[in-house]
Amino acid sequence: MLRPRKRWKTRWNSTPSSRRRLSKCTERASGSRPAPVARNCDNRGMSQTYILTFSCPDRLGLVHAVSGFLLERGGNIEEAAQYNDHDTGLFFMRVQFSCSQLSHAELKSQLGTFAEPLKLQWNLQTVAQPMRTVIMVSKEGHCLNDLLFRWKSGLLPLDIRAIVSNHREFYQLAASYNVPFHHIPVTAATKEQAEAKQLEIIEAEGAELVVLARYMQILSDNMCRQLNGRAINIHHSFLPSFKGAKPYYQAHDRGVKLIGATAHYVTADLDEGPIIEQDVARVDHSRTVEDLTTLGRDTESQVLARAVKWHSEHRVLLNGHKTVIFR
C-alpha cells in the first residue's frame, strides 16, 4: 500500500501576521504548516518506483514496445494493466516499474522521444511522491472528516496542503490536523474575486488534485477550465438521476428504493463530468428524508475516498466523457 512521505519538520512562523498569507479573507488554521516537499530530480543509481500511464491509437505491438523500452533501460515491471476501447480505437495502459539506471528527468526525456511516433499521451510519476492536494468544503463535513482521517492514517497517498471554505465551520478541524485553513466568503457579487483567490491558493500550493468535499458553490466555466482533469466532486445522488440541489428530497418524493452517490471530474457542465466511482444503498418506504440523508452521507464518504485513492495512485485515465480505471 502506498503511504505518504513524512513531512519536513521545518515550520512556518505561527504568528498572526504569518497566518494572513494571501488576503484578508484568507485564514490559516492555528498551528503551522510544513515547508514544501522537495522533489528528487537526480536519482540515478537509486532504485526508484515509477508509474507510467498513457493512451494512444491502438496498434499491434504496443505492449511489446513499451516493455522493451523499459527493459532496455533496466526497468523491472511490477504491475501492468491495459484496456483496448474498440468503440474509440484507443489503447490505455498503466505500468508500475522500478528503475535505477536513469534519473526521473532522463526517463521523461527519453519517453518523450519514444512516445512521439506512437502518438502516446503519457504521464510519468514516482510512487514515493504523495499527491499535493487542496480540499474545498462548505458546511457539511462528513467527507472532509473522512478524507483527513484516511490521509492521517496513511490510507491515501496525499499531501494535503490546504482546506478552502466559504464558511468558518471547519477551522478547528483543520487545526487539529495541522492543515492551513483559508476562509473565503462567496457571494454573487464577489464570486469572481473569490475564485481568483481560491485559484491563487491552489497554484501557490502546487496542487495536483482539488477535492470538492461537499463544496456547494457552482464553479464558473473559467475555474472549471483551470482545474480540468484535476478536480473531483462528490455528488449526493446516483447520477444521472436527481441532479442539482436537495437530491434526497427528490428521491424521497419519488419513492426510490435505492439512493446513491457519484464521484466525478469537474467540468463546466454541472454534474456531467466523467464518472470515477458510484455506489448505492437500499432503502424502503419507511425511510424519512433525514434517514436518506444520514445513509447517503456514509455512501458519499466511501465513494469519494475510493475516487481520490484511485486518482492519487494514477489509476484513472480519461476516455472522452468516460474514464478507464485500473483498480
- Tell me the per-residue pLDDT of 32-50, one tens digit each, with 9 for 90 and over: 454 444 444 455 567 899 9
pLDDT in tens, 104-122: 999 999 999 999 999 999 9
Instruction: Characterize the bridge pairing of strands 231-235 and 209-212.
Output: parallel
Q: How confident is the model at residue 83 (pLDDT cuts 50, 70, 90)?
A: very high
Taken in order of first residue, the domains within the chain and their CATH numbers are 23-37+130-325 (3.40.50.170), 48-126 (3.30.70.260)
pLDDT in tens, 204-228: 999 999 999 999 999 999 999 999 9
Grid cell 469537474 — which residue?
266
**pLDDT at residue number 41:** 44
Look at 181-195, 199-213, 239-253 and tell me which has the smallest mean pLDDT.
Answer: 239-253
Give the span between the Cα atoms of 166 and 219, in whole angstroms. 13
Q: Is the pLDDT of residue 238 over 80?
A: no
Q: Is the pLDDT of residue 143 over 90?
A: yes
End-to-end CA distance of the chain: 13
**pLDDT at residue number 178:** 98
**pLDDT at residue number 236:** 80
Q: What size, in residues, is the chain?
A: 327
Percent of the chain surpassing pLDDT 90: 72
Q: List the catalytic residue out of 58, 87, 269, 271.
A: 271
**pLDDT at residue number 49:** 97
Percent of the chain surpassing pLDDT 70: 82
How confident is the model over 244-269, as a mean pLDDT? Answer: 79
Overall pTM surpassing 0.85 (yes/no): no
Q: What angle do CA 254, 249, 278 make, to 5 degrees?
A: 85
Residue 42 annotated among the catalytic residues of the structure: no
Give the span between the Cα atoms of 50 and 124, in whole angstroms. 7
Say which residue, 250 or 175, is predicted with more confidence: 175
Average pLDDT, the chain: 87
